[in-house]
Amino acid sequence: MDCPVHDDWLEAEFAVDTRLRLQVSRRLHCCRSAFQKIEVVDTPRFGRVLLLDDVINVTEQDEAVYHEMLCHVPMQAHADAQRMLVVGGGDGGIIREAVRYPGLRRAVLAEIDAEVIAASRSWLPGVSAGLDDPRVEICTTDASAYVHGHPDTFDIIVIDATDPIGAGQRLYTPEFYRDCRRCLRANGILTAQSESPFFDTELVTHIYTLARKWFPLVRMYTACMPSYVSGVWSFMWCAKSPAQSHLPCRTVPAGLHYYSHEIHRAAFALPPSIKRQFGF
């Protein structure tokens, strides 16, 4: 496998005209799965970094922000979430957060690429730790087919998908969002990573247009992700019932780094320019 070392710097693609150069202390893993190039490197700045097709996917330094905000925001707003589906998320970070809840009975990980799960188990044990919880079922499958085949099953769906290239494309269709709504139980909540609101605004608009077609209540919230393009990440919140509050109503698990009720509430505050741009 060809993994050039570039002087011990890594160049991650932020966008066609923007790149992040990061000093690398060690190249740990590199392979090409049936779906993508998978690489793990160690860096002085962000600790270990998982890259998929040269895009930074997970870093030890800030993964907690992403995983906590994508998981706890719906879990804290739902009064009694017992069943969760994670779409993508093969690194296991969302599952690690979900299994903090004693009331959770079942969490299904629908990740198409078994090599991502394997890389995370080998190189990011702190992220993948939750995958061995007995309540977790790992399905290395196309999540769009899984969702289609499981109506009325989950209280929470978390979409932790890569960008809409290759296999990921099926997760950016109207049919997929229609099926996700059907897959949710009454009062179900879906959250999805929805890209940087400051960079690929066309893609952000596309994601929200898909969701608004099928969900009566769609909101955006944001968090700080220093290793992702622009440093700010948006997350989409969709409720099956228009009466569902997005505000937290449960006790916060101990040991979190980024999430709190204060942060949860603040994350839904959007600047006027973002509201105008995305129709909020």
| Total binding residues toward a second copy, as defined by CB under 8 A | 43
Give the span between the Cα atoms of 97 and 37, in whole angstroms.
26
Tokens of 205: 């608009």
220 contacts a second copy (rule: CB under 8 A): no
- Output the smallest distance, CB 12 to a second copy, in A: 10
Active site residue 54: no
Q: Which region, judged by CB under 8 A, interacts with a second copy, from 43-51, 115-123, 128-136, 235-243?
A: 43-51
Q: What is the Cα 136 distance to its own chain's centre?
A: 17
Q: Which is nearer to a second copy, 151 or 271 (CB)?
A: 271
Give, as ranges, the residues between 12 and 31 that touch a second copy (CB under 8 A): 15-23
44 contacts a second copy (rule: CB under 8 A): yes
> With contact defined as beta carbons under 8 Å apart, do 158 and 71 qualify?
yes
Give the full edge-to-edge strand order of the sheet including 184-193.
Answer: 136-139, 106-110, 83-88, 154-160, 184-193, 232-239, 217-224
Give the span between the Cα atoms of 242 and 217, in whole angstroms.
5
Give, as ranges, the residues between 103 and 162 that touch a second copy (CB under 8 A): none
Q: Which is nearer to a second copy, 239 or 263 (CB)?
A: 263
> For residue 87, what are the contacts with CB-CB under 8 A and spacing of at least 6?
110, 143, 147, 157, 158, 159, 160, 161, 171
Give, as ranges, the residues between 237 and 256 that touch a second copy (CB under 8 A): 256
- Output the smallest distance, CB 63 to a second copy, in A: 12
* Catalytic residue selected from 62, 155, 160, 179: 160
How far is CA 115 from each of CA 26, 111, 118, 131, 278, rounded to the nearest angstrom? 20, 10, 5, 14, 35
273 contacts a second copy (rule: CB under 8 A): yes
Query: What residues does 12 pair with on adjacent strands?
Result: 20
11 contacts a second copy (rule: CB under 8 A): yes
Residue 129's φ and ψ, nearest 5 degrees, are -50, -40
Among residues 38, 41, 43, 59, the one that binds a second copy under rule CB under 8 A: 43
35 contacts a second copy (rule: CB under 8 A): no
271 contacts a second copy (rule: CB under 8 A): yes
Q: Which is nearer to a second copy, 186 or 254 (CB)?
A: 254
203 contacts a second copy (rule: CB under 8 A): no
Give the span between the Cα atoms of 205 and 279, in whole angstroms.
9
Binding mask 46-65 for a second copy (x = CB under 8 A): ---------------xx-xx
Q: Which is nearer to a second copy, 103 or 231 (CB)?
A: 231
Tokens of 245: 């509050």
Query: What residues does 235 pair with on adjacent strands?
Result: 193, 221
- Per CB under 8 A, residues contacting a second copy are 11, 15-23, 43-45, 61-62, 64-65, 196, 198-199, 222, 224-226, 228, 230-232, 256-260, 262-263, 265-267, 269-273
Active site residues: 160
